[in-house]
Amino acid sequence: MVQSARTLEAGTLDPTFADGGVLRLPIPEISGFHTVAVLPLPENKLLVAIRLLGIDAPIALARLNEDGSLDLEFGGSGAGLVEITLEDHYFDSVKELRGLSDGGWLVFGQYKKGGLGGKYIVRFSRDGQLDMSFGEKGVLLIRSMGRPKERTEAIDRDGENSSAAMRRVKGSNGGLAVQQDGKILLASYVMMESGYAKEAVLRLNPDGTTDPTFNGVGFTLIELGGIPHVWNIVEAIAVQSDGKVLVSGEFAQENPYARVAYVLRLDASGQLDTSFNGGMVTVRNTAPIYVNDISVRETDGTIVVVGDVFVDSVAHGLMFVLTSGGFFDFTFNRGQPMFSLLVPQGMAWSHSSLRADGSILVTGDTGRGLVEEGVTALTALFRPDGSPDPTFNGTGFTIFDEEGAYESVEDMKVMADGRIVVCGLVWVDGDSWAYAAGGWVIRYLA
């Protein structure tokens, strides 16, 4: 594990958490180890989503005490776990754990049934029980939108062939946001009657029903302001305090190898907001570019978008900052997108958080985007101007890397006191390809 020798410094592991700042899974109480999402809770506790072992095994939620031990009171069964299961359906992934103002939370991800798939949202109350007023007994499956002659299907764009020699490191976090009034926004995928697919953003009421006040039908197609394109993908969304919705992703034009990253904004009624720099902001590249996360600071509406971009065949961390009006922030990197290369093997940002002082916290993976040698978990802090903040581990970044394995990041959240929690997977080489053999949760000092 690469770590600064200094202790009790921002960006170093929190010695009060688990084993010197690292919780390694599985543990005796939990057979599963796929730690795929994390959410800070009151009293400095953490909620962790874990895939249990076995074929079509369920997702389990575990609550950790501040010291990293399992909270056995969670769920009321004495096991400290709450399983998420659904008859005839397989919960394939957890994309996001999202806290709610009433102390409960949402679990968002993708499900499979036979050869088909979709998106699901499960709502829990603060005591860890299903909120039976939401969806169908606490569970909502996203299948259709009820617009005449159109149907919506959530498509598993992250689907991976487990027999492939290389696996793509996880990218975007799936596109879910919650408004201050409890309404839910999520990215969806619309199949038109003609067979042509279009991206859309849906808005649901707090009970999971469609909100018809959003664009008059409950969803808005993402049309890219009339710009010609071959395909378009919505990767991440965020909601502002005024109810406006930021949408970010990529599209391709004539060159199939080049991509364009974009950000647009919908107003609170679901219409394209042309006051946002005319409607859309783009970042172009002659090689692949990926958007993985978008976040907004409530105090002033500053927006940060992160992902990865290939420069001279090496993956760089992509980051750009916009003002609330949709213009490039000249305080950050002189108003230009920043392509970071903190390590020679390449890197990508997957999650971000804007701090009140203007600094930007990011985390992601090193390497070229595949599960292979060179993959480690990278967390960094940048000053408002885009320079690394040396008060963070002495260099501006820290790497979590344990001998004999590869570590990939699944999620990052910031606790109320500023401490940073990151979770992910441990990979080891097999006969033909690397496979997940463990999980981890780490906590850094702020």
Can you give the pLDDT at residue 328? 98
The predicted model scores a pTM of 0.90
Of 16, 18, 126, 21, nearest in space to 74 by CA: 126
Paired sense of beta strands 59-64 and 45-51, if any: antiparallel
pLDDT, tens digit, 9 for 90 and up, residues 263-306: 999 999 999 999 999 999 999 988 889 999 999 998 899 999 99
pLDDT, tens digit, 9 for 90 and up, residues 59-118: 899 999 999 999 999 987 788 889 887 777 777 788 999 999 999 999 998 888 776 778
Which residues share a beta bridge with 97? 107
**Residue that has been written with the tokens 């690394």 in this structure:** 388
Can you give the pLDDT at residue 153? 29
Identify whether 134 is part of a domain.
Answer: yes
Can you give the pLDDT at residue 155? 26
Identify whether 292 is part of a domain.
Answer: yes
Q: Is residue 161 predicted with pLDDT exceeding 60?
A: no
Identify whether 318 is part of a domain.
Answer: yes
Identify whether 10 is part of a domain.
Answer: no
444 and 379 in contact (C-beta within 8 Å)?
yes
How many domains does the chain contain in total? 1
pLDDT, tens digit, 9 for 90 and up, residues 310-345: 999 899 999 999 999 999 999 999 999 999 999 999
What CATH number does residue 345 fall under? 2.130.10.10
Which residues share a beta bridge with 263? 248, 281
Q: Is residue 173 predicted with pLDDT exceeding 90?
A: no
Share of the chain above pLDDT 90, in %: 64
Identify whether 316 is part of a domain.
Answer: yes
Identify whether 11 is part of a domain.
Answer: no
Identify the domain containing residue 116 by its residue range.
Answer: 22-444
Average pLDDT score, the chain: 87
Of 34, 175, 159, nearest in space to 98 by CA: 175
Identify whether 7 is part of a domain.
Answer: no
Identify whether 4 is part of a domain.
Answer: no
Q: How many CB atoms lie within 10 A of CB 221?
A: 17
pLDDT, tens digit, 9 for 90 and up, residues 213-271: 999 999 999 988 788 888 889 999 999 989 999 999 999 887 767 789 999 999 999 99
Can you give the pLDDT at residue 248? 96
Q: Is residue 143 predicted with pLDDT exceeding 70?
A: no
Residue 302 burial class via C-beta count within 10 angstroms: exposed 0-12, middle 13-18, buried 19 and up: buried
